[in-house]
Amino acid sequence: MKFASQHFAILGAGRSGLGAALLARQHGAAVTVFDEGDAVKTDKLEAEGFKAITGQAARDLVVKPGEFQQVIISPGLDEHWPLPKKFADAGAPLVGETEFAFNLTSTPMVAITGTNGKSTCTELIATLFNGCGMKSLPCGNHGMSLSEVVASGARYDVLALEISSFQLETIRNFRAKASLWLNFAPDHLDRYPNMEAYFAAKARIFENVRTDDVAIVRAGESVSSGKADRWTFSAYGDEAGYTYSAGKFHHLGQEIGQANGLKLRGKHNMENVLAALMTGRVFGLQYSSMLHAMESYEPPRHRCELVRTLRDREYINDSKATNLHALEACLKSQERPIVLIAGGKDKELDYTPLRAELNGQVRAMVLIGEIAGQLEQTFGDLLPCQRATDMADAVRLATEASQAGDAIILSPGTSSFDMYTGYAQRGDVFRDAVNNLK
């Protein structure tokens, strides 16, 4: 077996860590899982027979040189943080979970990165492949980790792998037949020292590509696509090989299909469709077959999701907008006047660029969370702003500020951890508040 008689440390007791532990053991390694969290649930690890060292015991850990032959780090951990650094200082090589799994499979992959739209595009691509007779699965930073998929032993024709900057930080050999760069905007400045560092991490998706690989890049993005053949797309009038306008998709000016059978709405989603069509072409699929396959795709919850129409007001849940770029994309995709519910955790983002994007379309703002005061200072001179005590209060105030024909949108522009366990819970609370309106 590949790792027989070797002792592996798995850093991180979440889904990626468990998948890596299972995969390492399948190849003969003895495994110990480490996590500094005090409230780490180790039930699944213990049920699988893994030794787990967590909380204070992990923080007090002393690693001896030669004790571990390999250390697999989960994407939520920075390799420079204290726990990974203990292993690195002891001479144990650190390998990212995605890189580890990639080296243990020959399944072809499509890799999707970007600040926004990754999950929708990843799901679309898997839907497209499956609908065209190629067995696929959305995975990576979305759904099952790559280690879980490889450890499962299930066979796929191609994997649709959402890959984040955190996962790309630790790649060495990783590459995909088609690598997608959807967009880039400021985010994760609580993880990275500056935007340049964040950009550099994401740009590693093209680090190992070859001349027979394809880079699918949104038009106008300044990222280098390395040795790969570069294909571009746009739904916003930019010059590109693949474009969308007036309900139709084009390649080099020739119509290749229409959007009227799709359930997705908004130009940002049409760019996801373009990227998916381009990916399918890399694998030789036909446009008509791909568009037909994507007609079955249901838009994800919490991303420009229409919750309800009441008294000619649309209530839209865009809780997944956890950064400024996603918020801007939501606003640009709307045709109605908007009352915007925004705010949440302070991620040290600068919201002043949004002032130029309001364009009179946003008639009022209702503010929530840690940054409510900051947003009021930023936008209070442009339009009416009110602070809400909770989500139900925010929905009530937004309804009162709206007029018939408006869209009332929760698009926070930041993460939710000041008030909720994640964007999904935040969106569910919004949905409940909207559905309770009389």
* pLDDT score recorded for residue 187: 64
pTM score, two decimals?
Answer: 0.78
**Composition of the chain by helix, strand, coil, percent to 5:** 35, 20, 45
* pLDDT score recorded for residue 429: 98
d(CA 336, CA 353): 21
d(CA 107, CA 116): 26
* pLDDT score recorded for residue 189: 63
Q: Tell me which amino acid residue 425 is.
A: Q
Q: Is 421 exposed, middle or buried (0-12, 13-18, 19+ CB in 10 A)?
A: exposed
Alpha carbon of 407 to those of 109, 354, 384, 399, 402: distances in Å? 39, 18, 16, 10, 8
* pLDDT score recorded for residue 298: 86
**Domains annotated on the chain, with CATH:** 7-99 (3.40.50.720), 105-294 (3.40.1190.10), 305-435 (3.90.190.20)
| pLDDT by 10s per residue, the chain, length 438 | 899 999 999 999 999 999 999 999 999 999 999 999 887 878 888 888 999 999 999 999 999 999 999 999 999 898 889 999 999 999 999 999 999 999 999 999 999 999 878 889 999 999 999 999 999 999 999 899 999 999 999 999 999 999 999 999 999 999 999 999 999 876 656 678 788 888 999 999 999 999 999 999 999 999 999 999 999 999 998 999 999 999 999 999 999 999 999 988 778 889 999 999 999 999 999 999 999 999 999 887 898 888 999 999 999 999 999 988 889 888 987 878 999 999 999 988 889 989 988 878 999 999 999 999 999 999 999 999 999 999 999 999 999 999 999 999 999 999 999 999 999 999 999 999 999 998
